[in-house]
Amino acid sequence: MDVTPLVFLVVALVAASVFLLLFVHTDEPRSEAPRPALITQHYAPGDTVEQPTPYYAAPVPESPDPLEVSANTDKKALLAIALVFGLFAMMGAYYTLQTGIPIRAYAGTTMLDSSKQKQLDVSVEHGAETYASLCFDCHGKRGQGDVGVGLPLNRPDNKYRASCTATGQNDNGKTCKQSDDDAIRKFLTDTITRGRAFAAPRYSMPAWGRSESGQLNEEQVNQVVNFIMYGNWDRILQIREEQSLALEPNPPPTPKVPDPVTAGQQIASTTCIACHSFTPGTASANPLAPNLGHYATEGPFNDPLKALKASGDAAWLTKWVTNAPAIKPGTAMPKWEGVLTADQISWVVAYLQTLK
């Protein structure tokens, strides 16, 4: 129940009553003095006279009563004081009701808290509708990741942990702190917005954020995050049923595992080509980067990497692509760990080993 209109109505009625009580003039109207009779001119019969002009003498205005003037001035001052007091009283009452005194109608919460909760409830409901429409087939009926496609979202670690007490434990008996919820929110928001790539045959999480060419704006992403953190997962099937949608997930087909050499060539042609040339006899874009056209038979080209290969380490080329500076400090070859996945690095290595 929103009592804000009721509060303002009561304040307005009180102000109106004060106004009527103090400032409505209740004195009887002052009786005006009777006007004098018209003065007429009399002439003898046969006299030539001008057309008489009737006139009357205007009464001399009375001087204002000093006591009455003083009383009116006092009333105006009281009116100004009452208006100022009423304005500040309404502002104070509104601020107090919003942020201070718990309202019994809200079971001990303030109006501001109740408003925030209502906004959150609306956001959670919109997030549930978005999940039921876009996430259902991959993450499942209750977000448990039991479809075999998306990861589980309905986990205690993803729930809002307002119960994190001074002892540092939440309802799940796990260590927590105030910043945990912010970290969870950021992780969920970033993942939904940007997606999450995995190597086939594992499914990749698509990027849903509009900033990443997806179809959800920032508020819609925030609504989904609110549902994951605060929502009731039973609501998903209810929404699907209300919208006459299938009640069983329909997951997408399993991604095909790419050919390692072909996939490696695609990565090299879009990433490694910035520095290296893969055409024999053609100079590389970076003078410090060797031509890799015959790398399988002519490589490696630096002494630390040659020593690593001579040591019998079968993963020498994988280690080089993963973190070249760890093998040869100061090299122009960047560290690709964290930029490419382990599978993508293995594909690049497989492609390099075919360049004979």
What number of residues does the chain have? Answer: 356
H or E element, residue 311: none
Q: Are 247 and 241 in contact (CB under 8 A)?
A: yes
> 271-287 pLDDT, tens per residue?
898 899 999 988 988 88
pLDDT value at position 198?
72
Would you put residue 312 in left (φ > 0), alpha (ψ -120 to 50) or beta?
left
pLDDT value at position 354?
92
Rg (CA), the chain: 43
Structure tokens at 166: 């001074």
pLDDT value at position 33?
57
Burial class (CB in 10 A: 0-12, 13-18, 19+), 48: exposed
Domain 114-242 belongs to what topology? Answer: Cytochrome Bc1 Complex; Chain D, domain 2 (1.10.760)
* 8-state DSSP, 221: H
CATH: 2.60.40.1930, 3.20.20.30, 3.30.1330.40, 2.60.40.420. Which one for 260-352? 2.60.40.420
Q: State whether residue 111 is helix, strand or coil.
A: helix
pLDDT value at position 85?
81
What is the Cα–Cα distance from 109 to 310, expressed in whole angstroms?
73
Side-chain half-sphere CA neighbours of 74 within 13 A = 8
Structure tokens at 145: 């990741």
pLDDT value at position 106?
46
Tally of helices (H runs) and strands (E runs) in the chain:
13, 0
Omega before 253 cis (within 30°)?
no
pLDDT value at position 171?
54
Spans in the chain with pLDDT lower than 70: 1-71, 95-113, 161-180, 199-201
* 8-state DSSP, 248: S
Establish whether domains 114-242 and 260-352 are of one fold. no
What are the residue ranges spanned by the domains of the chain? 75-109, 114-242, 260-352
Does the pTM surpass 0.75? The reply is no
pLDDT value at position 105?
45
pLDDT value at position 107?
46
H or E element, residue 4: helix 4-23
Helix, strand, coil shares, percent, the chain, to 5: 50, 5, 45
pLDDT value at position 26?
47
Residue 344, phi then psi, degrees to nearest 5: -65, -40
